[in-house]
Amino acid sequence: MPTWVIVVLVIAVVLLLAIWVSYNGLVKLNERVEEAWSDITVQLKRRADLIPNLVETVKGYAKHETEAIKQVSEARAKMMGARSVAQTAEADKSFMGALSRIMAVSESYPELKADKNFQQLTEELTDTEDKVQAARRFYNAGVKEFNTKVKLFPTVLINNMFLHFKARDYYEVDEEEAKRIDKAPTVKFSDDEKKEK
């Protein structure tokens, strides 16, 4: 067998091996990112499922806080309707803002704050928020790895020829908004509102 044939065969094998490794690597990373996103959506749904109970508990004690209750209900609906990573992150930001207002309301109602059901719900929300943050970190790490691989040579060629994967969006939230829900902002009520209570 002539030398040039051996060289061509070796080059062909190396190219096929590069294509195979790159292709499989991209598919695996994409699946890992999909799985990580699924973990986020599960935790966000769990958190959203706690909200109706929280709202009902707050309504029982804070009848005059209809605006805060309405805002958290609307934010929950927006969260459940989000379809993309960017929409979910934006809805999450609104949701956390509305939820922190509900938590601030609880400061004005000692009976609500002492309610066992309310305490249990806030503990579950805090635990779920920790899980959301952990899932978000895992997802973003997977996105970083995937986006880097999509841009590297020779993977970029393989992707452009066969897969056509696009860079994935990070799940970015304002770090201040992502802090625990029990660190709610201070809310001051007008004298008229205090008299109604």
What is the mean pLDDT of the segment spanning 55-74?
A: 85
Domain-embedded: residue 5:
no
pLDDT at 183: 46
Question: Per-residue pLDDT for 177 more than 60?
Answer: no
Q: Does the residue 3 lie in any domain?
A: no
Instruction: Give the confidence band of 195 by pLDDT, cuts at 50, 70, 90.
Output: very low
Give pLDDT, residue 182: 44
The answer to whether 41 touches 83, Cβ cutoff 8 Å, is no
Of 94 and 190, which is predicted with more confidence? 94
Q: Percent of the chain beyond pLDDT 90?
A: 41
**Total number of domains constituting the chain:** 1
Mean pLDDT of the chain: 84
178 belongs to a structural domain: yes
Q: Which amino acid is at 184?
A: A
Model confidence at 151, in pLDDT bands (50, 70, 90)? very high
pLDDT for 157: 87
State CA 132 to chain mean position distance: 6
d(CA 25, CA 28): 5
Block residue for tokens 């929280």: 54
pLDDT at 23 over 50: yes
> Is residue 58, in this structure, part of any structural domain at all?
yes
Domain membership of residue 25 (yes or no) is: yes
In a domain, 39, yes or no: yes
On the question of pLDDT at 21 being above 70, the answer is yes
**CA pair distance 155, 134, nearest whole angstrom:** 29
Cis peptide preceding 2, ω within 30 of 0: no
Q: Which residues contact 65 (CB under 8 A, 6 or more apart)?
A: 58, 102, 105
Does residue 118 have a pLDDT over 60? yes
What pLDDT, on the 0 to 100 scale, is given for residue 31?
A: 96
Q: What is the mean pLDDT of residues 56-73?
A: 84
* Domain, as residue range, for 178: 12-196
Output 63 or 21, whichever has higher pLDDT: 21
Does residue 171 surpass a pLDDT of 60? yes
| pLDDT over 50 (residue 144) | yes
| Beta carbons of 103 and 180 less than 8 angstroms apart | no
Q: CATH number, domain at 137?
A: 1.20.1440.20
Query: How many CB atoms are closer than 10 A to CB 126?
Result: 13
